[in-house]
Amino acid sequence: MNVRPIRPIRPLRRITTAAVALAATLGLVSLTACSAMSSDGRTKDGKLRVVASFYPMEFLAKEIGGEHVAVTGLTKPGVEPHDLELTPRQTGSLADAGAIVYLKGIQPAVDTAIKQSGNKHVADAAALTRLEEHGTEVEGDEHGHDEGGHEGHEHHDEGGTDPHVWLDPLKYAEVAKGVARTLSEADPDHGRDYDKNAAALADRLRALDRKYTEGLKNRASDTFITTHAAFGYLAERYGLDQEAIGGVDPESEPSAARMKDLHALAKDHHVGTVFFETLASPKTARTLAKDLGLKTNVLDPVEGITDDSKGSDYFAVMESNLAALQKALGTK
């Protein structure tokens, strides 16, 4: 008995191919239409259209741009910035923007889209201050001391340079100055206002720095444990030791050896609190705290503001972080 082979259903294949082609065409039309809507980078009422990658950059753009800008954030509240995937409309908005404010190295999808956008007015926070390497401490690191005499550690992590510069108020002020320069280049008529606003913001950031310096002076411990290594700049600025469960990437999972080290470290350094975050899963932090009989609290990396945030903006959350650190480190 001969059995004929079953032939593929060619009409279905043709329909599928046509559908894909149509979808691609519609995507191109959508991007082209978006580009045609505002090629001058301004809104209908003449404001400079600024696209910001995620909250810390959006906050800078709004504070410095003031009434002269209309800021759109690519990362919506509640979305973990590292996980962001752009829509075609968002990608198109980068080419149409009057200026872009972002931080290279924290959102790969954004980095690629900005490079492809061809936009000439781009402020990259990573290029406006010096980036450093921070991460989870590995066993055998040498101890050092900062200028204030506090014992510190050298930290290492396979993730390379740490992008979380906004958690150091003084580095954030450096970035603000560069953002003002980019906005001025895109909108020279309001350059003096941008410079003035950036200077006022820098004054507030220096005042925040003084609050941290004074607020963390008389402490019983230097060491704090947190979910991921977001607080390296803050720790370095104020002579603290950050011990992260994971790495610079909040999704990285700690090894069994790392968890064992943290058990020993918590006891040796009299750590009483394990910090977790608002946007990342608290599961591992809570498990560690339960195993050691420690308290938990929130230390927010200010990557986004949600209803769960302990404050409505950058300054409010940073002051909440200070209060949490004071409590955990036993300040007097």
CATH classification of 35-127+168-202 is 3.40.50.10540, yes or no?
A: no
DSSP strand E in the chain: where? 48-52, 69-73, 99-102, 122-124, 132-133, 143-145, 151-153, 161-162, 223-226, 241-244, 273-276, 295-298
Which comes out higher in pLDDT, residue 203 or 28? 203
The number of residues in the chain equals 332
pLDDT at 40: 86
**102 has which bridge partners?**
124
Mean pLDDT (whole number) for 186-203? 98
DSSP class of residue 7 equals: P
Task: List, for residues 233-250, the tens digit of each pLDDT value.
Answer: 999 999 999 998 876 555
At residue 8, does pLDDT exceed 50? no
- Structure tokens of 112? 């690629």
Fold for the domain defined by 132-160+216-329: Rossmann fold (3.40.50)
pLDDT at 33: 39
In sequence order, the 6+-apart residues with CB closer than 8 A to the CB of 314 are: 55, 56, 59, 166, 302
Tokens 């580009």 identify what position? 35
- Structure tokens of 13? 């294949």
DSSP class of residue 79 equals: S
Domain ranges of the chain: 35-127+168-202, 132-160+216-329
Whether 35-127+168-202 shares its CATH topology with 132-160+216-329 is answered yes
At residue 205, does pLDDT exceed 70? yes
Q: Report the 10 Å Cβ neighbour count for 256.
A: 7
The helix/strand/coil state of 258 is: helix
Which comes out higher in pLDDT, residue 306 or 155? 306
- In single-letter form, the type of residue at position 226 comes to T
Mean per-residue pLDDT of the chain:
82
Tokens 């979808």 identify what position? 23
DSSP class of residue 82 equals: G
Task: List, for residues 44-91, the tens digit of each pLDDT value.
Answer: 999 999 999 999 999 999 999 999 999 999 999 989 898 899 999 999
In sequence order, the 6+-apart residues with CB closer than 8 A to the CB of 191 are: 183, 184
**Sign of the C-alpha dihedral computed for residues 324, 145, 148 and 135 taken in this order:** negative
pLDDT at 15: 38
Tokens 């504070």 identify what position? 63
pLDDT at 269: 81
Predicted structure pTM score: 0.80
pLDDT at 39: 62
Supply the Cα-derived Rg of the chain in whole angstroms. 24
Task: List, for residues 24-52, the tens digit of each pLDDT value.
Answer: 434 444 444 344 344 689 999 999 999 99
In this structure, the strands spanning 69-73 and 48-52 are parallel
